[in-house]
Amino acid sequence: MKECVIIDGVRSANVRAHAEKGWFRNVMPDVILEKVYKALFERNPKVNPSDVEAVFCGTANQSGSTNDIARFGWLAAGLPESVAANGIGQQCPSGMSAIIHAARAIMCGEGDTYVAAGVEDMQHVPMGNAMEFPAGLMDRYDIAEIPMGATAEKVADKYNIERIDMETMALWSHRKADEATKNGNFRKEIVPIEGEDLEGNKFIVDKDQWVRGSVSMEKMATMGTPFKEDGKVTAATSSPLTTGACALLMMDREKADKLGLSYSVKYVGGAMAGNDPTLMGVGPIFSVTKLLDRASLKPKDIDLWELNEAFGSQSLAVVRELGIAENAPFDNINIWGGALALGHPLGESGARIVVTLNNILKTDRTDVKYAVATLCGGFGNSSSTLWERVG
């Protein structure tokens, strides 16, 4: 089998998906994706876009202005018509699914160059937009337990996750993300795009909007629980509604060597798993277990984790059940912050955490051998990928 390496990864800043406060409130998602696609090739002039075999782009909700956005964004960017683009839908893991599709195709020799991407605009295409639940689903599950927030509360109860532990996790997520932002770590992955501030002044958005310089435990303790009366999950311990796009250039290792391109990681494998939709957030327990079993590895063999923080409750349940950690601060998980601070544009995040992982392995943690990126997804979908240092 051939080997698949990451040549580069870029993303937009993640901004609030908010009609009054979001920095991209007047920028449409195809424009954000178009700029990310373009930046990928501008940064890698040795790669001819016509050599891309296909594009896979994940979006959880492919409707309205994100309908066929994989192809529309590509064409709008002026990239070759001859390259096909596929919209991938697996709820939140859609972006990671795009990576898995590209890596498999490269490894089996179906093509040597692919773009894997992810995009979501939760303002212009809100969660659940135009979604209809089939009767069979409603017969099988209590529909009140299906929304994401309800699952976060159920996970907190079932796995005995305390509110204070989720808030401590949110605090550390912001601290790490703030430090990484201030150190300029994300400059290597964020494509600057024009947006507007709260007063409507245009400015170049080159940092994530939700990251807080200081977070107060006292303030968090007073926040309401929007998903359940007297529940445990708050806006601080939920990933915010977010907009963003992301893309990676993935290549057969031999071709990369021929072109003289550098890389740091190769794809070892991917795993998808399904689980009870009413406990959707614990999905990574199952996809990570599958993934590591196949590679004959244990969680303790993994040096670094990127675990998407959809909610504090599900993240804590996953790290505890896998035996990786008990409570934040985690020293080898989300070391530049997670989605509680950086945001979670559903179908983008699975690709974004791999872009960040690649950046970390190139610049910050050059000692890491194995790393895993994993995330849960709506209705009990989960995907995980295993990466090994080669550069």
Ligand X SMILES: CC(C)(COP(=O)(O)OP(=O)(O)OC[C@H]1O[C@@H](n2cnc3c(N)ncnc32)[C@H](O)[C@@H]1OP(=O)(O)O)[C@@H](O)C(=O)NCCC(=O)NCCS
Using CB under 6 A, pick the residue from 219, 258, 294, 300 that binds ligand X.
219
Helical residues (DSSP H) of the chain, grouped into ranges: 29-42, 69-76, 94-107, 135-140, 148-158, 163-182, 217-222, 253-259, 283-294, 312-321, 339-342, 346-363
Instruction: Tell me the residue length of the chain.
Output: 391
Q: How far apart are CA 247 and CA 56, in angstroms?
A: 9
Q: How far apart are CA 366 and CA 157, in angstroms?
A: 39
Which residue of the set 57, 92, 101, 124 is catalytic? Answer: 92
- Closest approach of Cβ 62 to ligand X, in Å? 16
Is 45 exposed, middle or buried (CB count within 10 Å of its CB: 0-12, 13-18, 19+)?
Answer: exposed
Nearer to ligand X, 241 or 355 (CB): 241
Site for ligand X in 72-101 (CB under 6 A): 92
Which of these ranges, 157-165, 233-241, 245-253, 361-369, lies near ligand X under the rule CB under 6 A?
A: 233-241
Nearer to ligand X, 92 or 328 (CB): 92
Using CB under 6 A, pick the residue from 117, 215, 271, 322 that binds ligand X.
215
Is residue 376 part of the annotated active site? The answer reads yes
Using CB under 6 A, pick the residue from 27, 146, 155, 170 that binds ligand X.
170
For 101, residues 6+ apart whose C-beta sits below 8 A from its C-beta are 56, 86, 88, 116
226 interacts with ligand X by CB under 6 A: yes
235 interacts with ligand X by CB under 6 A: yes
Nearer to ligand X, 31 or 60 (CB): 60
Which of these ranges, 105-113, 201-209, 219-227, 320-328, lies near ligand X under the rule CB under 6 A?
A: 219-227
- Closest approach of Cβ 390 to ligand X, in Å? 32
- List phi, psi (to 5°) of 57: -135, 120
Nearer to ligand X, 76 or 235 (CB): 235
274 interacts with ligand X by CB under 6 A: no
Cβ atoms within 10 A of the Cβ of 108, count?
10
Whole-Å CA distances, 18 to 15, 127, 197, 299: 9, 13, 12, 38
Using CB under 6 A, pick the residue from 32, 220, 245, 317 that binds ligand X.
220
Q: How far apart are CA 150 and CA 33, in angstroms?
A: 31
Give me the DSSP letters along 29-76: HHHHHHHHHHHHHHS-TTS-GGG--EEEEE-S--SGGGTTHHHHHHHH
Is residue 4 part of the annotated active site? The answer reads no
- Closest approach of Cβ 132 to ligand X, in Å? 19
148 interacts with ligand X by CB under 6 A: yes
Site for ligand X in 275-294 (CB under 6 A): none
Residue in this structure with the two tokens 């990239």, named with its chain if needed: 79
Which of these ranges, 136-144, 232-240, 266-274, 324-332, lies near ligand X under the rule CB under 6 A?
A: 232-240
∠ Cα 342 54 384 (to 5°) = 40
Whole-Å CA distances, 37 to 33, 102, 116, 227, 263: 6, 16, 10, 36, 19
Is residue 246 part of the annotated active site? The answer reads no
Which of these ranges, 109-117, 188-196, 218-226, 249-257, lies near ligand X under the rule CB under 6 A?
A: 218-226
Asked if 170 and 220 count as a contact pair (C-beta separation under 8 A), the reply is yes
Using CB under 6 A, pick the residue from 239, 315, 356, 383 that binds ligand X.
239
Residue in this structure with the two tokens 């992982």, named with its chain if needed: 357
342 interacts with ligand X by CB under 6 A: no
Using CB under 6 A, pick the residue from 238, 287, 334, 384 that binds ligand X.
238
Nearer to ligand X, 57 or 236 (CB): 236
Q: How far apart are CA 330 and CA 172, in angstroms?
A: 8
* Binding site residues, ligand X, CB under 6 A: 92, 148-149, 170, 215, 219-220, 226, 235-236, 238-241, 310, 344, 378
Residues forming the active site: 92, 344, 376
